[in-house]
Structure 1
Amino acid sequence: MVQGTKRSDPRDWHGHRIVTEDDLVRSFDDRDPAHADHRRRRNKRLRHGIVLVLLLGLVATAVVGAYLVMTRQLVIPAWEPKPEVAAAPDLEPACPRDVLAYVEPAGVTVNVYNATRIPGLAGAAANRLEKRGFKIGEIGNKTLNDPDIVAAVVSGPEGRAHAMSVQRHIKGTEFVKDPERGSATVDLVVGQKFGSFVETTKVVTKDGRLSCPRATAEEKAAGEAAGSSGAPAASRPAREAEGG
């Protein structure tokens, strides 16, 4: 009986194992924990590398942009400082010379303020104005640079005719302009010489101008001084009422 020979493994060749396709598939199977962990680490490193490159790009762009802006090679309009616009000088004289129409008291609102230490003076003035038909707004206290006057009548451009109407009822008041006021209301700031009202029957209701005796005197004095020195006359502003 002839004894048969053992059949050799076709994957063995001279003592070496031949790696087949099936072996490769099994070696790199994702179900292999070691292989899956290796792939996760590799993908993580790849993501980190991409993020690092993007960050470096952003930093480089910011540095270059800052350099260009600082050297004025790149100008961003929104970052440019806006030029300051100087306020237009007030070329109008301290005492406006407009010819104004008289306004009936019912159409005039007056705020009355006391610039003295005499208690109740603003309230008393407000009562007398109200009896003549004026509308009364605020009643309170304010200060004057020089309280030794009858009263200061203050208004903006829109209230000059109203201010003139108030002056027609009170003797010796000084008009003071307030260019910033946008309403027609009038402030009456009473001083230490306040007290003399014009008789109702003698109130002038014709067109006319505002009364600024002190401002007019100061302008005249300034003009005379400028004439004697050869310099152009410069008007001085009237003493204005200040909130207190």
Structure 2
Amino acid sequence: MSMLTPSGMGGKYRITGNAYPRMRRPRRRGRIVAGVLASVVVLGLFGWGALQLFHVFNGGDGDTKANAGPQNQPSCKPAPTPAHPVKLAPMPQPAGVTVNVLNATTRGGLAKSTADELAKRGFKVSKFGNAPTQYDKKVTQTALVVAGPAGEAAAREAGTQVAGATVKIDPARKDASVDLLIGDSFSALATPADAAKARIVAANPPPPKPVCTVPTTPAAKPKG
């Protein structure tokens, strides 16, 4: 047996050449792949757990939000349409409005100064003075315009001169004159430019807004 014959081969095989063959262990590829997959799973579980902790500490609850969203949306119904809609009469020019300026506040001199300014703007001022007992010191807004059905359009025209004024129609009133009652919130008449803008809105009032209700969601019970 030659010295180059490895032990245990019984001399059946002879190694020739100037170098010995390298005897390596078989590569364990299966273990490497399994290790990589295990690492990926562990990292994924770690990331999922961190995300859940983030939601807990920030008060997040995916299921609660998903279920509560649609419940909290407002429910809107169209505004009711009158059975007999009333067509508004065209608004007259200031020269076609007869107005009575009445002071319903405790401040003196408002009726006269306001009446003089309205006269300059073209309105027909019939009289000025203190408001009657039923309105005296009872008008909290800037102004209240009172007229009968025949003076509805004239009342809207007079109301454009005071920002925030409201119109009240008295069915028992027969003439077309208008009472402009000065209220506690009154400071001055609207500027001519603002009155012109208000006249456009009064001549073309917007349609009634839909009635919307928002359901209330019961408070969530604390987790214990």
Shorter-chain TM band: 0.3 to 0.5
Q: Which has the higher helix share?
A: 1
